[in-house]
């Protein structure tokens, strides 16, 4: 997990307390998972989501989806989780039980992306290239100015004194 592309962005907490990575930084923006309750005859499922900052600080809770009154007569309950992150940093989750046609939804703004303006989120990786472009243009303009200054100074030489006028000045002391 040393590279930023391997850092967990959004996770869900398992029944044993560990975090299961749902989205990594640089991942596609949609996931589909199949979830099974931790124990048989479990009456409800509570899926909690966490946001992991890119700097490695502890995850912060985003909230969760609770699926109550699971059918007790079904030995193997399977829930389908669909999660997506839109371009504005909104996490949308749909938890569905196919056999009973029950659906629970959850929408939340991811905190580290909620504070950034939309244009900054889209251009955050290219700001250095924009800065380099500005520096390149300014350096080019400075070079053109310097060359123009040097070329125009070539014709600005002081004219030499004529030999006759210097002889006249020595003999007549003006």
Gap between the Cα atoms of 67 and 93, Å rounded: 13
Maximal CA-CA distance, the chain: 131
Place of tokens 């907490």: 13
5-62 residue pLDDT tens: 357 788 998 888 898 998 887 777 888 988 888 777 777 888 899 988 877 778 889 9
Q: Which of 86, 87, 84 is nearest to 118 (CA)?
A: 87
Gap between the Cα atoms of 127 and 114, Å rounded: 19
79-85 vs 45-51, strand pairing mode: unpaired
* Percent of the chain whose pLDDT exceeds 70: 73
144-159 residue pLDDT tens: 988 888 877 766 666 6
- Record the pTM: 0.58
Is 3.40.50.720 the CATH number for 4-123? no
């Amino acid at each position: 997990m040393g590279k930023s592309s391997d850092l967990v962005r959004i996770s869900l907490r398992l029944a044993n307390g560990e975090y299961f990575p749902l989205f990594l930084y640089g991942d596609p923006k949609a996931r589909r998972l199949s979830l099974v309750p931790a124990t048989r005859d479990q009456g409800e499922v509570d899926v909690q989501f966490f946001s992991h900052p890119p700097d490695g600080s502890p995850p912060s809770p985003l909230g969760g989806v609770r699926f109550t009154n699971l059918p007790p007569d079904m030995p193997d309950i399977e829930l389908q989780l669909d999660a997506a992150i839109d371009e504005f940093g909104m996490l949308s989750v749909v938890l569905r039980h196919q056999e009973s046609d029950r659906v629970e939804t959850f929408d939340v703004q991811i905190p580290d992306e909620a504070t950034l303006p939309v244009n900054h989120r889209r251009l955050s990786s290219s700001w250095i290239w924009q800065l380099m472009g500005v520096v390149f243009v300014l350096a080019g303009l400075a070079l053109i100015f310097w060359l123009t200054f040097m070329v125009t100074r070539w014709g600005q030489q002081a004219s030499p004194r004529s030999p006759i006028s210097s002889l006249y000045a020595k003999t007549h002391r003006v």
